[in-house]
Amino acid sequence: MSAQGNTPHVTVVMPVYNAAATISATIASVLAQTFTAFELVIVNDGSTDDTLTRLMPLAEVDPRIHLVSRPNGGVSSARNLGVELARGELIAFIDADDLWAADKLAAHVARHRSDAKLAASYARIGFLPQHAATLDACRTLSSVGRGPLRLIEVLGENPVCTMSNLVVRRDAFIAAGGLDTGLSHAEDQEFVARLLSRGSRIEAINAVLVGYRFSPDGLSMDFDRMKAGWQLLARRHLDGPALAALEALYLRYLARRTLRSGGSPVKALSYALAGLRTEPRAFLADRRRGLGTLAGSFAAPILPRAMRRHVFA
């Protein structure tokens, strides 16, 4: 099935900012999809490196690629602009440093065609080292639950994890008001939480369809700002003991993310201990994960960075 000459069923929205090192591999993973009735809307958000130079030849030779360039306005407004320009019934997001499995779109389209009332879907994620070129390099995999996604899951360790994992009906995205452009972190988590709060249903596909790249200098590695964004989000929905329990889980998650990415071992330990102090029962409810995070956080400072990234992947 070809998208050329027809209205595409899926619009892939890709915000791009200074992504010259990874953009070619990311676009290649989109263009390699087995489901081909899609368009790719790339919003170049004021890149100052040679990202635009790499993008222009690709847009010239493939009619599915629509390139828009604008002054920097932030990732949320770039995604919102991509949706405004979209023609597809389904919107699939991908960041400029992530990768997709070749059957990513086919799997999501099949799920939505089988359930027209489903607002959004997501899948499992493989976590990639910085310079990986394929999903074969995944070190660890995420897990997903059965049945509809719950708000408590999103506000906790968030199995959706990244916008690169989300496919949403265009009408549901618009009805929810799009992404909050006032947030610089947790904006994807906030959007999913808002969808659920409106009564929308989101379900998982039990397959690894996304490669999430750990880029030590990227926005997704600024864990303190991630924590601040999460706290703002969580306080919109919870307070008291419920908030404390989820904060303990989120701090445990940040400790594990720091260890996996090769970040500061001192920072990982501070997150783990803060989570344990905040609500020890919640932190240790999953004994294997809780104790493993504590053990890893205590051991990390004595290991070289390269070894930490290998051991804790």
pLDDT tens digits for range 180-230: 998 877 899 999 999 999 999 999 999 999 999 876 544 456 788 888 888
Q: What is the spatial distance between Cα 52 and Cα 279, in angstroms, rounded to a whole number? A: 47
Q: What is the pLDDT of residue 116?
A: 95
pTM listed for this prediction: 0.86
310 pLDDT above the threshold of 60: no
Span 46-62, pLDDT tens digits: 999 999 999 999 999 99
Mean pLDDT of 146-157: 90
Joined together, the tokens standing for residue 248 give 């303990």
CA angle 215, 216, 220 (to 5 degrees): 70
In this prediction, residues 150-179 reach a mean pLDDT of: 94
Q: Is the pLDDT of residue 311 over 90?
A: no
Helix axes 223-237, 265-278, angle to 10 degrees: 20
Give the C-alpha separation, 300 to 120, whole Å.
38
